[in-house]
Each structure stands twice: as C-alpha cells, then as structure tokens.
Amino acid sequence: MRRYPTRNAAFFHALRRLIASLCLAFLFVQGVRYGRYHFRPDLSWERAQARGVLIVGMDTSYAPFAVMRGEDIRGLDVDIALEVARRLGLRLQVAPMGVDGLYDALHVGIVDALISALPFDPFRAHLFVYTRPYLDGGYFLVSRAGRYQTMPDLDGKTLAVEHGSIGDEQARLWRRRLRALTIQHHAEPSAALAAAAAGEADAALVDYLTARAWLRAQGESELRIAAAPIYSEAYHAVLRARDLALASRVNAALEAMWADGSLAAILARWLG
C-alpha cells in the first residue's frame, strides 16, 4: 500500500524531515559551542596559584598612578596591585604598556588584570568585569570648611573652574538650572583652587587628584573637598568576565583593603 498519494508528497515530506534534522543538528552544535564557552570550569584562580604570580597590566606614563623610571615602576596603582597580590599570596608582575593596549592585552590573556586608573565602560561589560572602585578621580567641589557640598548650594555664588574642563562643562549646565551662578574661568585647576582659598570664589570645581595634590602642597588650608563628586569617574581593577574566580578574589582583597584602612593609607601616601 502506498503511504503517500503522489511522488511529490513523498519528496516534500522527506525534504521537510531533512531540513528539520539539519536545523536540530545546527542547534545542537551551537548549544555545545555555547556551553563549552560559557559553562567551562573557571580555573583562573588555580592558574594564578600554580604560577604564583599575578600579572597586572598598567599604563606606566600616567602619574601618579604608575610611572616608569629606568626599570623601576612606581605609583598609586603599583602599590594597590602589590597589596592585592600580597593578600592573594601571589607575587606581582607589572606589565607596562600604553593605555591603548590595556584592554587588548587583558582580552588575549597577556595579563590577568588591569589596575590603571580605568573608569567603568558599559560597552566593555560583556567581556570584562569591574571590581569595586578604589578611587573616584571625578570632579568635586572644594570650599572653605567644606561649606558647599552640592551644586544647588551654590545658587547666587561664584564657582572657579579650569576653563574648558569637565568641571567647566558641569558648571555651565548648572548655570542653566540655578537662578544665578557666576563661573570664574582659570587656566589651571590649581589657579581655581587658589581663587577659592583667597576668597575670590566661593568654591572650586576641580578633579579629585588635583585637589588632593594642591591641598597637600599648601599644608595648612581652610579648603575641604566635598564628600561626594559632582561628576563621578571611579577607577576600578578590571578582569576578564570568564575569570570570575580570580575577579572575586581581587574584589574581596580590595574590599578588605577598604575596610581595614590600608587602601586609604596608600591613597594618602600618594595623594596626601
């Protein structure tokens, strides 16, 4: 007895089955590939332990974070990396490179982590993980006795900024929102701080590193940095997203450093 009324019907039935089988085979292969990539065992911590070394990529031309002098590399990021490596029971090896090469070096596995004043980049979050921030290098208000903490406090006041900087950009935005805000432009952020210290401006809006360095250089000053940034740019350690085991340990080390004050001590050593 013939199962199909025509030869055409038999042919199309076979064709449908073939296409369905190919689709299933394709889905299976893709599933296996996906699984091998995403669900493979994370041996990043074991690898680092077996090597005994944590390799950290740094841009060594960016003071005060990392600067190369001869064969010696020093800076805030170096000290943080040293402390992280010590807490993990590993030796630190710094891989010096240009800022443009940092993420590529991490992606291809030349380094285990990056500690190089890197802000969070949402467009890279699918490949990399960012630890808790170790420093916010953004723009902070600096005023006498920390009187001004937020931009609305400056209504009717004078704000000193570095001309053209992000601080200037923020000040111009806030000038549109407040009833009155006089912006005082300076060629350098240190000049903006000096104006605030001399009473020529009510506050200065400058980046955190400059503010700390200037206050340290001045010794005694009435100026205080506000508690929260007006424009945040937090710096993180960065690791590969698939190295979660190592990343969580680096993150835990930074958390511990924050909790016991050793991170603050390192920041104080370099920033004052």
Partner 1 sequence: MRAADSRAHWAYRAGRTARWCWNRRGIWLRGALFALILLNLAPARQRILPEPPQTVQSAHPILCMHTRLVDEVEDIKIWRTLRMVREMGAPAIVEFFPWAYIQPREGVYDWHHPDRIIRLAQRQGLTVIARLGVVPAWARPDPLRQPTSLNYLPPERYADYAAFVAAFAARYRGVVRHIIPWNEPNLYFEWGFRRVPPEEYAQFLKLVYEAAHAANPDVQILGGALAPTLEPEDGANGMSDLIYLRRLYAAGGGEYFDALAVHTYGFTAPPDDPPAPDRLNFRRYELLLAIMRAFGDGEKPVYITETSWNDHPRWVNAVRPAQRIAYTLQALRYAESAWQNVRQVCFWFFRAPTLYRNYMDGYAFVSVAFRPRPIYEEVQRWARGWEASP
Binding site for partner 1 (CB under 8 A): 59, 61-62, 99-100, 121, 123, 162-165, 168-169, 172, 185-188
- Based on CB atoms, which residue is closest to partner 1, 54 or 95? 95
Choice between 92 and 99, CB closer to partner 1: 99
In whole angstroms, the minimum distance from the beta carbon of 117 to partner 1 comes to 8
| Shortest distance, position 230 Cβ to partner 1, whole Å | 15
Bridge pairing between strands 157-162 and 181-186: parallel
- Kindly state the tokens that stand for 58: 């740094």
Nearer Cβ to partner 1, position 85 or 194? 194
> Would you call 117 helix, strand, or coil by DSSP?
strand
Beta strands in the chain (DSSP E): 53-59, 61-62, 66-69, 72-74, 91-97, 113-119, 128-130, 135-136, 139-144, 157-162, 181-186, 203-207, 223-225, 234-240
Q: Quote the least distance from Cβ 180 to partner 1, whole Å.
A: 12
Instruction: From 92, 90, 22, 83, select the one nearest 56 (Cα to Cα).
Output: 92
Strand ranges (E), 145-194: 157-162, 181-186
Do β-strands 234-240 and 135-136 pair in parallel, antiparallel, or remain unpaired? antiparallel
CB of 163 to partner 1, least distance (A): 4
Measured between alpha carbons, how far is 102 from 111 in angstroms, rounded to an integer? 9
The least distance separating partner 1 from the CB of residue 184, rounded to whole angstroms, comes to: 12
Nearer to partner 1, 187 or 268 (CB): 187
Nearer to partner 1, 119 or 146 (CB): 119
Q: How far is the CB of 222 from partner 1 (least distance, A)?
A: 25
**Residue closer to partner 1, measured from CB, 153 or 188:** 188
In sequence order, which residues have a C-beta less than 8 Å from that of residue 19 and are 6 or more positions away? none
